Structure 1
Amino acid sequence: MSALIRIVATAIAVGVVAGAASAETRVTYKSAKSGSSYYQMGVELAEAMKAGSGGDISVTVEESQGSVQNVMEVRARGADYVFTTPPSLVGLAQEGKAMFEDKSVPAFDEIRALFPIPSLTMHFVMAQETGATGLADLEGTTILLGKGSFGATEGEKYLDMFGLTESVEIADAELSNAVAALKNGQIDGFVTAGSFPAPNVVEAAASTPVTLLSLTDEQIEETGRTRLVIPAGTYAGQEEDIVTTSLPVAAFTTTKMDEETAYQLTKTYWENKERMADTSPWWGGVTAELMSNITTELHPGAVRYYEEAGIPTDGSTK
């Protein structure tokens, strides 16, 4: 009987070890609308997490209608929830301001940051033949802003802010038509926001000579946005750095997530970011310097990784 007990005990122990060895951490990653660059980033990140963890981390990417929805869903989500949004939006949620007025809940205070992802970067793309080099040169031109996007809203705001609304003609067309319209001379330029290198700007620069406009430091300060430099050589014919504005974006979770999971997610992300950049250059725009844009408190698991890696987190509260 004792021999039989030993055999059964051994079998159970082996089963437990095997089960532990095959344990899989499942995470839901709430991203953006399918077809958008940020949804594609989510898919790439999910693949990198699986490969980088040897299959121990499984990420399911969910479509989202936007950053506000991502934050609002914190109220009903569990420990496996990871989502993307600008850090500034988390701040508004936690303070109950703007679109979160009268909607603030204790769950918002439990939001914690993990790591930065590519920023929404403003691009002012002009036909080279216009001779435009700065925002003041937009006077008398026809510009395509598109409709309903962050870039369109931001572009319209800048035109008003710098006194150009009356002197710039806004083309009535969708942003998806921008490259063809620019090439055919129907517009002088277009405004778009996205992680760089932005696919539509890559296409435009490859098909016709273009100039990307830089903003002055004074203009950037007036916009209230974050300064960002698009390195020379990012686009065809771009010989100099472009100074523009951006809206930082990061991945977040909540205190419901355990420390080890947050640690592994953060560690796997940074250790595989360079590999992701080899196939999708926009990941190359993510550097340790972007940590200064995260103003939300970091998850303890993320803090543990940054301390081990020697990455400064001065911009984040702890």
Structure 2
Amino acid sequence: MKFHKALVATVIGLSVAQLSFAQTQITFKSAKTSSSYYQMAVEIAQAVKKDTNSDVIVTVEESQGSVQNVMESAFRGANYVFTTPPALVSLAQNGKAMFKNRSNPKFNDIRALFPIPSLAMHFVVSEKSGINNFSDMAGKEILLGKGTFGANEGAKYIKLFGLEGKIDFAKVELSNAVPALKNGQIDGFVTSGSFPAPNVIEASAGTKIKILSLSDEQIAQSKRTKLTIPAGTYTGQETDITTTSLPVVVYTSTAMDDATAYTLTKAFWEQKQKMGDDSPWWKGVSTKMLSNITGKIHPGAAKYYREMGVSLSDSQL
């Protein structure tokens, strides 16, 4: 009897060990826990777990930003994935800007998996401000914020479009933008984020607003990617909004095996519709956004795209 119990215990122990060994563990370096991109990473982790019946488990790690994510790619293991704009990958691989004197040959091993919602620029103004285009912002009180991508990008556009020195910048924190707009303290604010952006939803729900569109010429001046926010995204928005965006992509490296990269990519696209039902920002993601990936795509992910009938450029393979 003792021998039988010992044998059963051994068999159970082996089975548990085999199951544990079969489970793939992924580390997902995302963003600050307060950001929408951290929430997106959590949603992707849940989607992968569901699609693979828990065969692949994704653990989300907080990050201080995309530069940190790229830097860590040179030192983390094979199952490390992270988010960053494609432009930063290019800078890292060429040792430019914030990666000057911090280059690493392993940056050349970075490979893309799939796109996620882009950072879309929103120039939000109250209807009563009378602002209908960028030139109308002259002499108005605009909240730009500081230290964020949206603030830096907004300041760049103000200079590009001849408004430098013509706008009164509100001394209000961006977190207070919505109440400041509602009480007339400011005429508008600039923000960036995946659409629909929570603070813009809040602003449109409580007061009549307009979100400015950029012309093709202005978009060309910005040297950013054109993006359309469909009509009806925000309360009272009856027409499409044309703006600029900074694409964001989920990356790994060549250290990840093809099967794992294939499984992650497949899980994302097969669960995307369900994710979109729960969080509207996923509805704006499509395979057309693969064209925003300027570097190479992981062979495992590329295999899935071929099965989907999606064409990739020679430079991506």
Tell me the TM-score normalized by structure 2.
0.94
CA deviations on 1:117-137 (whole Å, 9 max, x unpaired) are 000000000001123222112
Residue correspondences, number: 310
Task: Name the Cα RMSD after superposition.
Answer: 1.9
Shift of the alpha carbon at 1:310? 1.0
SS at match of 1:192: strand
Q: Any residues of structure 2 matched to 1:49-60 within 5 Å, and which?
A: 49-60=48-59
Aligned counterparts of 1:66 and 1:303: Cα–Cα separation in 2: 27
1:37 matched to which residue of 2?
A: 36
SS at match of 2:73: helix
SS at match of 1:166: coil
Shift of the alpha carbon at 1:312? 2.4
2:71 matched to which residue of 1?
A: 72
Identity across aligned pairs (percent)? 60
1:284 matched to which residue of 2?
A: 283
Structure 2 CA distance for partners of 1:44 and 1:93, relative to 1, 3 Å: same
1:219 matched to which residue of 2?
A: 218
CA deviations on 1:89-132 (whole Å, 9 max, x unpaired) are 00010011111112211100000000000000000000011232
Shift of the alpha carbon at 1:165? 1.9
Amino acid at match of 2:27: T
1:265 matched to which residue of 2?
A: 264
2:248 matched to which residue of 1?
A: 249
CA deviations on 1:160-182 (whole Å, 9 max, x unpaired) are 11111211111111111000000
Aligned counterparts of 1:17 and 1:198: Cα–Cα separation in 2: 44
1:176 matched to which residue of 2?
A: 175
Aligned counterparts of 2:164 and 2:183: Cα–Cα separation in 1: 24
Structure 2 CA distance for partners of 1:30 and 1:17, relative to 1, 3 Å: closer
1:4 matched to which residue of 2?
A: none
Amino acid at match of 1:103: R
Amino acid at match of 1:214: S
Whether the 8 Å CA contact 1:291–1:315 is kept in 2: the answer is no
Aligned counterparts of 1:296 and 1:57: Cα–Cα separation in 2: 26
2:98 matched to which residue of 1?
A: 99
2:274 matched to which residue of 1?
A: 275
Shift of the alpha carbon at 1:12? 6.8
Aligned counterparts of 1:154 and 1:199: Cα–Cα separation in 2: 19
SS at match of 1:83: strand
1:110 matched to which residue of 2?
A: 109
Amino acid at match of 2:191: T
Shift of the alpha carbon at 1:20? 5.2
SS at match of 1:306: helix
Aligned counterparts of 1:82 and 1:139: Cα–Cα separation in 2: 44
Shift of the alpha carbon at 1:313? 2.2
Shift of the alpha carbon at 1:316? 5.2
Structure 2 CA distance for partners of 1:57 and 1:316, relative to 1, 3 Å: farther
Amino acid at match of 1:27: I
CA deviations on 1:43-67 (whole Å, 9 max, x unpaired) are 1111111112111111110000100
1:132 matched to which residue of 2?
A: 131
Mapped pair 1:123 → 2:122: yes
Runs of at least 5 residues in structure 2 that lack an aligned partner in the other structure:
1-6
2:3 matched to which residue of 1?
A: none
Aligned counterparts of 1:17 and 1:216: Cα–Cα separation in 2: 60
Aligned counterparts of 2:194 and 2:227: Cα–Cα separation in 1: 11
CA deviations on 1:65-90 (whole Å, 9 max, x unpaired) are 10000000012101110000000100
Shift of the alpha carbon at 1:13? 12
CA deviations on 1:254-282 (whole Å, 9 max, x unpaired) are 01100000000000000001100111100
1:202 matched to which residue of 2?
A: 201
Aligned counterparts of 1:44 and 1:316: Cα–Cα separation in 2: 30
Amino acid at match of 1:234: T
Runs of at least 5 residues in structure 1 that lack an aligned partner in the other structure:
1-7
Aligned counterparts of 1:23 and 1:265: Cα–Cα separation in 2: 15
Amino acid at match of 2:250: A
SS at match of 2:263: helix
2:233 matched to which residue of 1?
A: 234
Aligned counterparts of 1:189 and 1:17: Cα–Cα separation in 2: 59
1:87 matched to which residue of 2?
A: 86
Structure 2 CA distance for partners of 1:63 and 1:17, relative to 1, 3 Å: closer
Amino acid at match of 1:129: K
SS at match of 2:33: coil
Amino acid at match of 1:174: E
Amino acid at match of 1:182: L
